[in-house]
Amino acid sequence: MSNDGKILADVVKNVHKRLRQEFFKTGDMESVWTNHCKNVSCLKKYASSMHKLATEHWEQLRISNPATSRINWTWSFLQYYFFAGGLQLHRHKSNSDAEWPKLVLKEQKITVLDVGSCYNPFEEYEELDVLSIDLCPAIESVYQCDFLKVTLGMSTVIDGQNVLSLATNQFHCIVFSFLLEYFPSPSQRWTCCEKAHLLLLREGILIIITPDSKAAHSNARVMRSWREALSAIGFKRIKYEKLQHAHCMAFRKNSVEPELNDEDRELLTSKMYIPQDFYYPSDSENDEKDEIKFTEAELAEGFTNLPMFDE
């Protein structure tokens, strides 16, 4: 990546770091997030940096090496699942109840909610009917919405450029691309996934893409923990692939959201961790050198998550 690209990436990473610092110091997730959402100058700088980083730097990589692109990966999976027999295959594998309502594509369009979209990268695909939302949109085709706080109801309500509510059981696909690691707390990541489950149609797909430039097995324990947490919500992971710079996962909504007691919910929420949650994010440039240590058994388990491993 060029020097300009590194500067832009540092802007993004530093925002994440500051959020973790504040949460570590105060332990008050609500106030940290509220204050962050009020910091308009920070939000705009983040959005501008992410937009430029994605469209000018990552797009060059996408053109030169399409296999590295999270956008290409998502579109390829949606084609497979909705248009090339994937839905029917997984319905058969799961012994789906015959009374399940069939997923119907209106005018052959896949309804997609792209959360944390920034610049609406899926707009180019005619087969997708995309609602793109972001805390601070970089372009006009993305609507402003705090996904953590937005109301869920019977209908999606948009006022100007602001999403006031989202309809449950409405979307064929929800995309969390480089979203969950933004949040400093596992409980916020859990909340996002719970909301996604409510917003998806049954048999719909949640796409989660999270950055990681290490080898596929390096953070296998993290990916396994997320899979366990999402399974408890009512999602089954049906696709995993490690790209050069990201983990790409597709989860299928298999059931209604189960009822969990407080103890189970707390345990499952804690499973939505990222490695950075376990050390204090200092101001040092080398503060992210620490890594979670793995046993030999865990390393071995990681090799089942090699690229193109179908579950």
Q: Alpha helices of 152-307 — where are they, by DSSP H? A: 186-199, 220-233, 262-270, 296-302
Residue 134 labelled as part of a binding site: yes
- In the three-class reduction of DSSP (H, G, I as helix; E, B as strand; rest coil), residue 132 is classed as strand
Task: Give rounded-to-5 percent helix, strand, coil for the chain.
Answer: 45, 20, 35
Question: Which tens digit of pLDDT belongs to each residue from 231-289?
Answer: 999 999 999 999 988 999 999 998 776 778 888 889 999 999 998 888 765 655 444 44
Indicate whether 106 pLDDT > 80.
Answer: no
The pLDDT of residue 156: 97
Average pLDDT over residues 118-134: 95
**Sign (positive/negative) of CA torsion 35, 210, 63, 116?**
negative
- In the chain, what percentage of residues exceed pLDDT 90? 63
Task: Provide the number of structural domains found in the chain.
Answer: 1
Indicate whether 125 pLDDT > 80.
Answer: yes
The pLDDT of residue 102: 58
Question: Which tens digit of pLDDT belongs to each residue from 127-149?
Answer: 999 999 999 999 999 999 999 99
The pLDDT of residue 1: 54
What mean pLDDT value characterizes the chain?
85
Residue 146 labelled as part of a binding site: no
The pLDDT of residue 157: 98
Q: Identify the CATH number of the domain in which residue 37 sits.
A: 3.40.50.150
Average pLDDT over residues 114-123: 95
- In the chain, what percentage of residues exceed pLDDT 70? 85
Question: Which region holds residue 95: left if phi is over 0, alpha if psi is between -120 and 50, else beta?
Answer: left
The pLDDT of residue 98: 47
**Strand partners for 166:** 152
How far lies 143's CA from each of 10, 128, 159, 160, 305, in Å? 25, 17, 10, 9, 35
| Residue 257 tokens, joined | 């959201």
Give the confidence band of 213 by pLDDT, cuts at 50, 70, 90. Answer: confident
The pLDDT of residue 96: 62
The range of the structural domain enclosing residue 271 comes to: 3-309
Average pLDDT over residues 2-18: 88
- In the three-class reduction of DSSP (H, G, I as helix; E, B as strand; rest coil), residue 40 is classed as helix
Average pLDDT over residues 88-106: 69
Indicate whether 196 pLDDT > 60.
Answer: yes
Round to whole Å and give the CA distance between 89 and 311: 12
- In the three-class reduction of DSSP (H, G, I as helix; E, B as strand; rest coil), residue 143 is classed as strand
The pLDDT of residue 97: 57
